[in-house]
């Protein structure tokens, strides 16, 4: 039974689909996946900050709801900081490795 190798490569949006699977292609695929996951995380973190900020503003008169929204807002802000930090670290390492390979 012959396996069609182009099935996997057709789903990957990077590079020439007729080439063999190489280390550079693997790094490109991983970079694509990680950066898109970070982008999605940034969008979710931003929406969470806005959502819990609105909940905090609307629960001004109810201390229990206000404190719960405040704690959730702090957690969302910490999550956003971690995501932006990971993004910064990845681009710093990528820039350093690009200068080493050139």
Please spell the DSSP secondary structure of 54-68, one letter per residue.
Answer: HHHHHTTT-HHHHHH
The answer to whether residue 75 sits within a structural domain is yes
Q: Where in the sequence is the domain holding 65, given as residue range(s)?
A: 42-102
Per DSSP, 5 falls in state T
Contact status, residue 47 vs residue 16, Cβ threshold 8 Å: no
Distant-in-sequence contacts of 34-38, Cβ < 8 A, 24+ apart = 34/90, 35/87, 35/90, 38/83, 38/86, 38/87, 38/90
The answer to whether residue 60 sits within a structural domain is yes
The answer to whether residue 18 sits within a structural domain is no
Average pLDDT over residues 53-80: 93
User: Residue 92: which pLDDT band, with cuts at 50, 70 and 90?
Assistant: confident
- Number of structural domains (the chain) is 1
Hey, how many other C-beta atoms are within 10 angstroms of the C-beta on 20? 8
User: Residue 8: which pLDDT band, with cuts at 50, 70 and 90?
Assistant: very low
Q: Of 63-67, 89-93, 97-101, where does the model show the most confidence?
A: 63-67
In angstroms, the CA 8 to CA 51 distance is: 39
- Per-residue confidence (pLDDT) for residue 7, from 0 to 100: 43
Residue scoring higher pLDDT (15 or 54): 54
């Amino acid at each position: 039974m012959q396996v069609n190798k182009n099935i996997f490569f057709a789903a990957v949006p990077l590079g020439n689909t007729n080439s063999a699977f190489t280390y550079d292609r693997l790094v490109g695929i991983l970079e694509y996946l990680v950066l898109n996951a970070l982008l999605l995380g940034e969008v979710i973190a931003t929406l969470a900050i806005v959502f819990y900020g609105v909940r905090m503003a609307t629960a001004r008169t109810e201390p229990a709801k206000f404190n719960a929204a405040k704690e959730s807002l702090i957690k969302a802000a910490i999550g956003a900081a971690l995501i932006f930090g990971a993004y910064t670290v990845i681009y710093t390492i990528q820039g350093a490795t690009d200068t080493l390979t050139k």
